[in-house]
């Protein structure tokens, strides 16, 4: 059947729409990226300006601190507070200058500093002392404002100075002026003048990384340039009326301008050409144009390819539907999806029928399970746990077994007697089914006997009395209608399903006793006289013990040994001679089985003690200890092998989980095991199934890579064994209950 053209068109249109949509999204992303880079640049420059302002003002605070230290200097204070006439010698000026010489060492912005003493007509420096007139001749400068060093109070003033000359060398500097003593507005006795190098201020600026056309500069209160990051001596002032973070034109170029004002009246500016700011997008713009043409062509080709690719499975599915004959007829004009839907409906109906068949087979499975319990097929609880889990069987109630024996069919068996026996069996079973004592299972032993398993919660004396009364009625009914006697034997009770086989043996012993004595219609195992002249140790029991030992089932072994002990030494109360025969039989069995196999020193010592012991009690105790110890040793070996295999599997998975094609098949092949074994091994020894464990390991590794923050989500998905990031995101959400992006943002 050919796929209709309409299906192809739908796929083609969908793929074209999906593929072309990212193109328009890309254009929007480009425009938003331009806007974003501008916003980030504004934020960056604002932050950079703030850092530079903080840095420079911290250095200016150092200047203030130096001024306060000079103000408090003992020698300077003495000169300020005295007149020239009171001085004893001129060396007191030099001493004062020398005492302040170390202050300039802590700040590289300082070129010179002077203390102008108004009442002394002297200027004190760290190196010399001159008169006020000589100081004016030595140091020349140009200032926007007229500076009056005497008679006017100055407090922490910074003054922009041009053409500062010292010994004929010209510099641009800033004067720091502070009247002395600080705080004495009406008693000005002198002035501290600190000369600061503008170029050193320029060195303090933190750099910008766009181009060499950007600039950071500072203007004073009069909007005159103080210093800049590119050491310019002149700069065009755009004015504070331009909003910070806006564009403006200067020399036919467009600049981005950011500015902020400090507390002392200086204004910090940062500007960068818009062309430099967006230069990284020029290549992207041209790339977008050329790629658009290529993208449209590729979109057309890819849409055709994927449309064909996605219609191909439809053809294959319909072909398989035809091959499997899931539909009786195939209308030519029927929509392909409707055909598949009809086929799935038929398949679902077949599945329901199969499920019904399985449910109908459940009674057979239950019957087979109890049959194997009766016949002693299961040796450990682990062997039947899958049955109890599947069949939802409760193993906690009290279990009791009975054997119903029909008298008169041992010697002569005719077809009529067999029919009559079958009728009697049917009547008995029907009476049980209509009563409150519905057995779990009927086990046919022979023509005249069958066993039943009862389950009680619990098996109390009252229940026992009611059961006896019911069975008496059944016995009387059979006797009246068929003139045939039936007898009942009952085992002890247990709440361990593994002991069902033992209960069966107890009921058999009891029924043999009632056949022999023929007293009463009901006999309990605990009431039968025990054979004190023979011990209980059949050959099949010995084989069962050996099997439990070799399989390392220590608990089941202890239970079976306890059963042997109770039966022989409590129930039968064997004579000394029979006790001696039993323990020596068991001793010989142990020596034959284990003497040459033991490498453990402790077990060797136990064997040696057994060989040299004649006390029956000691022999039996040693037998129990040897069998238990050997079973423990086997169990330990098996557990170690299981642990080693578990660790090897973990290492193998950790080595290969990054492979997207890694599966349980590779693991099974590597360890020479079947897939079924690997599935069961994971079920028994891991808290997860194989694929659940693998997925958790991959997601754990992905979380570690996300925390590192070096890879994208797509890269992480490929490095943790996922064929695509979509599958990875679904798995991550399923395990972590959040998306990878949300997890990444939370970590950051």
Q: What is the pLDDT of residue 3?
A: 44
At 384, list the tokens. 């039947």
pTM of the model: 0.41
At 685, list the tokens. 């020894």
| Region at 116 (left for phi over 0; alpha for psi -120 to 50; beta for the rest) | beta
Q: Whole-angstrom Cα distance, residue 458 to residue 304?
A: 73
At 254, list the tokens. 């467009």
Q: What is the pLDDT of residue 2?
A: 46
Q: What is the pLDDT of residue 453?
A: 92
Q: What is the pLDDT of residue 1?
A: 44
The segments of the chain whose pLDDT lies below 50 read 1-5
Do 79 and 152 meet the contact criterion of CB atoms below 8 Å apart? Answer: no
Give backbone dihedrals phi and psi of 131, rounded to 5 degrees, phi first: -80, 165
- Degrees (nearest 5) of the Cα angle 572, 576, 581? 85
Q: What is the pLDDT of residue 632?
A: 78
Q: Whole-angstrom Cα distance, residue 324 to residue 143?
A: 103
Q: What is the pLDDT of residue 309?
A: 67
Whose structure tokens read 């203390």?
115
How many Cβ atoms from other residues are within 10 Å of residue 666's Cβ?
14
At 88, list the tokens. 């004893």
Q: What is the pLDDT of residue 238?
A: 62
Give the ranges where 597-615 is alpha helix by DSSP (H): 601-611
DSSP-assigned beta bridge partners for residue 74: none
Do 607 and 626 meet the contact criterion of CB atoms below 8 Å apart? Answer: yes
Alpha-carbon distance values, 418 to 7, 44, 443, 449, 703 (Å)? 72, 104, 17, 12, 74
Terminal CA-to-CA distance of the chain, rounded, Å? 56
Q: What is the pLDDT of residue 436?
A: 84
């Amino acid at each position: 059947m050919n796929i209709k053209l309409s299906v192809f068109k739908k796929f083609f249109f969908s793929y074209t729409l999906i593929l072309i949509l990212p193109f328009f999204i890309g254009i929007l992303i480009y425009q938003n990226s331009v806007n974003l880079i501008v916003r980030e640049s504004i934020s960056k420059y604002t932050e950079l300006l703030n850092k530079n302002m903080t840095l420079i003002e911290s250095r200016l605070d150092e200047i203030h601190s130096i001024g306060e230290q000079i103000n408090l200097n003992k020698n300077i204070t003495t000169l300020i507070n005295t007149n020239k006439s009171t001085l004893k010698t001129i060396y007191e000026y030099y001493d004062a200058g020398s005492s302040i010489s170390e202050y300039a060492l802590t700040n590289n912005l300082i070129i010179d500093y002077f203390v102008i003493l108004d009442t002394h007509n002297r200027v004190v420096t760290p190196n010399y002392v001159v008169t006020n007139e000589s100081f004016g001749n030595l140091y020349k400068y140009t200032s926007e404002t007229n500076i009056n060093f005497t008679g006017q109070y100055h407090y922490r003033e910074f003054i922009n100075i041009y053409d500062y000359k010292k010994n004929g060398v010209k510099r641009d500097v800033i004067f720091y002026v502070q009247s002395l003593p600080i705080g004495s507005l009406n008693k000005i006795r002198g002035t501290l003048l600190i000369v600061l190098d503008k170029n050193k201020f320029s060195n303090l600026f933190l750099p910008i990384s766009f181009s060499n056309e950007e600039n950071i500069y500072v203007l004073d209160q009069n909007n005159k340039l103080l210093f800049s990051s590119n050491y310019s001596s002149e700069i065009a002032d755009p004015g504070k009326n331009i909003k910070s973070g806006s564009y403006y034109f200067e020399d036919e170029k467009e600049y981005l301008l950011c500015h902020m004002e400090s507390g002392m009246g200086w204004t910090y500016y940062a500007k960068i050409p818009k062309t430099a700011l967006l230069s990284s997008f020029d290549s992207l713009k041209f790339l977008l144009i050329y790629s658009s043409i290529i993208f449209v062509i590729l979109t057309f080709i890819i849409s055709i390819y994927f449309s064909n690719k996605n219609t191909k499975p439809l053809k294959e599915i319909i072909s398989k539907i035809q091959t499997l004959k899931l539909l009786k007829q195939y209308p030519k004009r029927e929509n392909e999806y409707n055909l598949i839907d009809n086929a799935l409906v038929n398949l679902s109906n077949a599945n329901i029928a199969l499920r019904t068949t399985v449910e109908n087979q459940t009674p057979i499975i239950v019957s087979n399970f109890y049959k194997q319990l009766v016949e002693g097929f299961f040796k450990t609880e682990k062997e039947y746990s899958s049955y109890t889990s599947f069949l939802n069987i409760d193993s906690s109630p009290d279990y009791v077994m009975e054997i119903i024996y029909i008298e008169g069919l041992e010697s002569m068996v005719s077809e009529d007697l067999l029919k009559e026996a079958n009728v009697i069996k049917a009547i008995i079973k029907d009476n049980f089914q209509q009563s409150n004592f519905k057995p779990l299972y009927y086990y046919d032993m022979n023509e005249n006997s069958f066993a039943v398993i009862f389950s009680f919660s619990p098996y109390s004396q009252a229940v026992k009395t009611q059961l006896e009364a019911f069975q008496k009625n059944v016995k009387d009914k059979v006797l009246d209608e068929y003139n045939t006697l039936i007898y009942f034997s009952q085992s002890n009770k247990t709440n361990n399903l593994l002991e069902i086989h033992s209960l069966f043996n107890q009921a058999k012993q009891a029924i043999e006793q009632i056949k022999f004595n023929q007293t009463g219609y009901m006999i309990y195992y605990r009431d039968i006289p025990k054979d004190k002249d023979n011990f209980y140790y059949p050959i099949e029991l010995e084989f069962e013990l050996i099997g439990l030992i070799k399989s390392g089932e220590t608990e089941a072994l202890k239970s079976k040994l306890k059963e042997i002990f109770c039966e022989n030494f409590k129930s039968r109360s064997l004579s000394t001679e029979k006790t001696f025969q039993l323990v020596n039989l068991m001793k010989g069995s142990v020596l034959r089985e284990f003497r040459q196999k033991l490498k453990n020193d402790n077990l060797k010592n136990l064997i040696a003690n057994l060989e040299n012991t004649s006390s029956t009690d000691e022999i039996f105790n040693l037998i129990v200890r040897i069998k238990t110890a050997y079973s423990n040793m086997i169990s330990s070996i098996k557990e170690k092998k299981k642990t080693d295999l578990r660790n090897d599997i973990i290492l193998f998975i950790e080595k290969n989980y990054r492979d997207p094609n890694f599966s349980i098949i590779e693991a099974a092949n590597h360890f020479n095991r079947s897939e079924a074994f690997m599935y069961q091994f994971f079920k028994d020894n891991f808290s997860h199934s194989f694929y659940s464990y693998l997925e958790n390991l991959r997601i754990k590794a992905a979380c570690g890579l996300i925390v590192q923050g070096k890879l994208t989500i797509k890269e992480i998905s490929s490095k943790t064994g996922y064929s695509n990031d979509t599958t990875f995101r679904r798995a991550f959400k399923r395990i972590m209950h959040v998306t990878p992006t949300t997890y990444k943002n939370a970590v950051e």
